[in-house]
Structure 1
Amino acid sequence: MSHLSQSTSQPSFPALLPTMLRRVHHIALNVRDMQASRHFYGSILGLRELQGDEVPETLKTLFEAGEAANFVTPDGTVIDLFWKPNLTPPDPNPTREFTRAGHLAFDIAPDLFDHAVEVLNHHQVTIDHGPVTRPTGRGIYFYDPDGFLVEIRCDPA
């Protein structure tokens, strides 16, 4: 799977500027044991678990079913946990590198979202899906060169 084209025959196209991506919005992690993960992130790491109206509307059904939990870091980054009970590590040796992350999401101003999509398309970044529009904003999901899923999202305009 080719993630980025490095063709030199096309004229230069501007990249997103470092100031355009404002912050990490959330990190989604797939977990095999939700209770153990909630204990770890809440009781051991001391992150505050979102409750009630704090839970994003798009996750309420999963939250109520015990299939998602949301924690917030002191800087406001949200860590979403998604229950995947059949998840097994790619290698039984836990010292070997592997990831449990679902995707990394960057927040961008709503008026810059379409430009970000143009930049991704111009650079022939492999798009997983999107752009999508939800009550919580817009998003586009794509792969980094190693196949890790990344999202750029914005709040509603």
Structure 2
Amino acid sequence: MTSSLKSSQWLTTGMLRRVHHIALHVQNMDASRQFYGQLLGLRELRGEEVPETLRQQFEVGEVANFVTPDGTIIDLFWKPNLLPPDADPDREFTRAGHLAFDIAPDLFDQAVEILQQNQISIAHGPVRRPTGRGVYFYDPDGFLVEIRCDPE
């Protein structure tokens, strides 16, 4: 933020209510649908649940929408020619760091097992921190995803 902005021009705490949606570009829609819908267990929006502004894209397979347990929508937009600036996902290639999902502490180890059973390559972790535990892995397009839990 530049110093030329006056504090009366800023949004105040509480004006923003929640994250409405997160839009991700994906290269392989089938792999991404399986990753977010089956592996992570997010519910995909169908039929009348799909926002009207996205229905035409949905009908031709160019968008998929998933809802997280807290109601945040993840929109996947199919970009078949998508290439990251760097083919190595271990090098951060976007301004976004990662997408983190919270899980109950007693389910964390089970989640790690499910990732391993599905041959999902673990990028980092599981790690234990004062703030809890986390495991980091990539979605089919190289976007870093975390499953984390609070301390037990």
**TM-score tier after normalising by the smaller chain length:** 0.5 to 0.7
SS of residue matched to 1:23: coil
> CA, structure 1 residues 64+79, in 2 after alignment: closer, same or farther (shift >3 Å)?
same
> CA, structure 1 residues 69+40, in 2 after alignment: closer, same or farther (shift >3 Å)?
same
Shift of 1:20: 0.8
**Partner of residue 87, structure 1:** 82
Q: 1:63 aligns with which of 58, 65, 80?
A: 58
Shift of 1:17: 1.4
**Partner of residue 133, structure 1:** none
**Partner of residue 45, structure 1:** 40
RMSD: 1.8
Unaligned runs of 5+ in 1: 102-157
Report percent identity of matched pairs. Answer: 69
> CA, structure 1 residues 92+11, in 2 after alignment: closer, same or farther (shift >3 Å)?
closer
Query: Taking structure 1 as the reference length, what is the TM-score of the superposition?
Result: 0.57
Shift of 1:6: 2.1
Shift of 1:18: 1.6
> CA, structure 1 residues 100+83, in 2 after alignment: closer, same or farther (shift >3 Å)?
farther
Paired letter, 2:87: P
SS of residue matched to 1:24: coil
Paired letter, 1:74: P
SS of residue matched to 1:80: strand
Unaligned runs of 5+ in 2: 97-152
**Partner of residue 99, structure 1:** 94
> CA, structure 1 residues 29+12, in 2 after alignment: closer, same or farther (shift >3 Å)?
closer
SS of residue matched to 1:62: helix
SS of residue matched to 1:29: strand
Structure holding more strand per residue: 1
Shift of 1:99: 2.9
Query: Taking structure 2 as the reference length, what is the TM-score of the superposition?
Result: 0.59
Paired letter, 1:69: A
User: Does residue 72 in structure 1 map to residue 43 in structure 2?
Assistant: no
CA distance in 2, matches of 1:100, 1:14: 25
> CA, structure 1 residues 13+42, in 2 after alignment: closer, same or farther (shift >3 Å)?
same
